[in-house]
Amino acid sequence: MTPTSKPLTKAIVTGHTRGLGAAIVDALRSRGIDVLGVSRSPALPAAQAARRPGGFEEVALDLSDSEALAQWLAGDRLAKFFVGAARALLVNNAGTLGPVGPSSVQPPLEVGRAVALNVAAPLMLSSAFCAATAEVPDRRIAHVSSGAARNPYAGWNIYCATKAALDHHARAAALDAERGLRIASVAPGVVDTDMQAQIRGVDDARFPMRERFEQMKRNGQLTSPEEAAGNFVGYLLSDAFGQTATADIRSL
């Protein structure tokens, strides 16, 4: 590396095929960062693929299947991907709103799937990432968090609990002070994604705050995935990243 060249950066992004995840990949690729996307359905539309020439790989993997994820992580794909990297990034973006409504109406299988996707997968990936990048001098893990991690909402007890788990994981992992590792759980703001549409489609009995999200959509108060991703990636690559274990893009 010459004195004026940038360090080789490589990133893993989960849930990369749509919404915020897709926009994060585009923001990373626009900066020349190699990306490995991990998603249950990785096939990209031609328009998206055209924006990501070279330096982009995909893996088809259902992250809610902890056994399948463990088998994949037992291989050498992560270690091979990060060969030559001076900076390694993991963006745990994949997630689900999970069952909405009070506990009495939540199907146990859906609860289990939400916990597997929202909590087990990012924690498993984080552990494997740290092991695979032990020799990389600059390592960064970003959990995509939510205001729901820090504020309780009726009807969202599963989503609130799983996002809060990521926040506390970041706090505790930061205390381990592993060499070259920065970690933060980052809320990107209220982003105009499929999840927002799902929220607005829930009946009031299950989610009493639905009308608030309807108003935000009507009033143009939702952030576009592109804007949110630009802010998120800018923070991820900055010297400020990891100085606090939890952050909100809107207050930085």
Active site residues: 159
Going through 2-115 in order, the beta strands assigned E by DSSP cover: 9-14, 34-39, 56-60, 87-92
The two tokens of residue 118 are 């929202």
The two tokens of residue 164 are 């809060």
* Three-state secondary-structure class, residue 44: coil
Parallel/antiparallel/unpaired status of strands 246-248 and 181-187: parallel
Q: How far is CA 220 from the centre of its chain?
A: 24
CA angle 54, 57, 61 (to 5 degrees): 165
Dist. CA 14–CA 203, nearest whole Å: 29
Are the C-beta atoms of residues 173 and 117 closer than 8 Å to each other?
Answer: no
